[in-house]
Homo-oligomer: A and B are copies of this chain.
Amino acid sequence: MKRSILLFLPLLAVTIMSGSVFAGMEGGIDDSALKSHFSSLPEVARNPKNLQNEDKVELGKKLFFDPRLSKSGFISCNSCHNIGTGGVDNLPTSIGHGWNIGPRNAPTVLNAALNGSQFWDGRARDVEEQAGGPILNPGEMAETKKNILKKLNSIPEYKEAFKKAFPKDSNIKYKNVAKAIASFERTLMTPSRFDAYLKGDDKAITVKEKKGLKLFVKKGCVGCHNGVNIGGGSFKAFEYGDDLGRYEITKTEGDKRVFRVASLRNVELTYPYFHDGKVWSLSEAVKIMGEKQLGVKLSSRDIRTIVAFLKTLTGTQPDIAVPILPPSTEDTPRPDFN
């Protein structure tokens, strides 16, 4: 008897959570209903088309930190997606080759592999597709495929590492550079107190933080910021600034000012906010979201409470040793600052 009740509970929860049942339940949404919008982090964000192995991850880590992937030899992936600062550069928009100031804010690399697509406009399907982009972007790392391969082939340790990581390929391929970096990125998961809560530890978040979670659900934030990454899974129009967003890629009228919804994991660390990085305060960002996306004017108190919840999404940051990079040889193409 007891057992059948337990089995029944989740079903009940699903029933309660669906529709606008919330409206009549001021403060009384039950835990299962709250949790049903999210799922907790995996240990690694696996991709069946780019299987993880230690050699690949180690190689990817080296490449991620290697400034030789840029034309100047000065900029690495980590320059803008800094592992020590929430996987971002905490700049409005990033600095690239020749001190070029980029058009959009650098999204975090932490948990990024779990997003439904990559870049603010979602133009890459996954981190495998994303990782090769900035290296070749003239305003970012400004390197060429040809020169990357020349550089890597001139360094015996890299040649060896590629052979080990991709035993089926006899030569270094550019797509494997991206695959290795992506493999490393797939390990950058930051489990948070909110994950502990999702997994059943009710004490992992405070009463105030849970109140914030309830507001987050009731006010409708959860409509976009849901799933394993509390965002990152869908596209949404955002009438803010001049950036046409996804329209630049699809040229479809309906995609004007449409952006991929940002993941809120580690949002406390990934300031400044929005695609133009012009908003520095998390409270201000929540306020703007309320007004623009939900059409509600959130009270200062509600904002504070929601922000308290958002801070439970700050996870255990990656513990990564600065990789010691293999030295160049006399055959390695030289850095070019111009």
Copy tally for this chain in the complex stands at: 2
Query: Contact check: which of B68, B82, B92, B271 meets A328 at CB < 8 Å?
Result: B271
Which chain B residues border A89 with CB–CB below 8 Å? 67, 73-74
A321 and B324 contact, CB distance less than 8 A: no
* Docked pose: A86 CA to B268 CA in angstroms: 34
Which chain B residues border A72 with CB–CB below 8 Å? 91, 95
Interface size on A, residues (CB 8 A): 40
A90 at interface by CB-CB < 8 Å: yes
Contacts known (A281-B330, A328-B271); A84 close to B322, Cβ less than 8 A: yes
Which chain B residues border A90 with CB–CB below 8 Å? 68, 73, 328, 335
* Docked pose: A324 CA to B110 CA in angstroms: 13
A79 at interface by CB-CB < 8 Å: yes
* Docked pose: A72 CA to B95 CA in angstroms: 9
B337 and A84 contact, CB distance less than 8 A: no
A327 and B271 contact, CB distance less than 8 A: yes
* Docked pose: A72 CA to B319 CA in angstroms: 26
Provide 11 A-B residue pairs closer than 8 Å at the C-beta atoms, listed in order of the A residue: A68-B90, A79-B79, A84-B322, A90-B335, A92-B335, A98-B99, A101-B337, A271-B328, A281-B330, A319-B321, A320-B322
Which residues from chain A sit less than 8 Å from chain B, CB to CB? 65, 67-68, 72-74, 79, 82-86, 89-92, 95, 98-99, 101, 268-269, 271, 280-281, 317-325, 327-328, 330, 334-335, 337
